[in-house]
């Protein structure tokens, strides 16, 4: 059997009821085969980044998984589809966005998957919650580099997801 790897998943939504969508997605992560959610950040509010639409609700989850990175990506995309995700144009508002940010120490560059996520270090809405669940992975200078991007805790607080 494959050894488990810790993967970090960005979770976000800004259509419908974003907080409810994110909390539901966090519960769905518990249903992934050969996987277990091991940590989740607080919920965070951010304005759309290089996009338009309502504010986003964001979080990061750590998942211990035996799935390969491509299989995990496929499972995440199936969850997005389950939530009604449509992709009419790049950076369109969305009911659910699940990004595979990190997959253990892997470096992957394929037509379908790039890990670490190619814009990981440019986004406060990823780095702040990632630093909350895995502080050793996010250096202080990375957080300083995105400090000008508005981010605040979601009013209702934590993201137990269940």
Q: Which residues are catalytic?
A: 85, 94, 97, 99
**SS in 3 state form for 67-112?**
CCHHHHHHHHHHHHHHCCCCCCCCCCCCCCEEEEEEECCCCEECCC
Question: Which segments of the chain are extended strands (E)?
Answer: 5-13, 35-40, 44-46, 56-65, 97-103, 108-109, 114-115, 151-153
DSSP state of 154: -
DSSP state of 51: S
């Amino acid at each position: 059997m494959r050894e488990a790897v810790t993967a970090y998943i960005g979770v976000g939504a800004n259509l419908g009821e974003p907080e409810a969508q994110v909390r539901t997605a966090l519960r769905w992560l518990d249903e992934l085969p050969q996987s277990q959610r091991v940590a989740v950040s607080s919920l965070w509010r951010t304005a759309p980044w290089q996009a338009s639409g309502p504010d986003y609700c964001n979080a990061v989850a750590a998942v211990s998984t035996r799935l390969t990175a491509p299989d995990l990506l496929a499972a995440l995309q199936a969850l997005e589809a389950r939530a009604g995700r449509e992709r009419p144009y790049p950076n369109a508002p969305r009911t659910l966005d699940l990004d595979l940010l990190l997959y253990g120490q892997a470096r992957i560059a394929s037509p379908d998957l790039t890990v670490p996520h190619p814009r990981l270090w440019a986004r406060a809405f990823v780095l702040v919650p990632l630093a909350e669940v895995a502080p050793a992975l996010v250096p202080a200078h990375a957080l300083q580099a995105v400090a000008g991007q508005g981010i605040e805790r979601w009013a209702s607080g934590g993201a137990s997801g269940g």
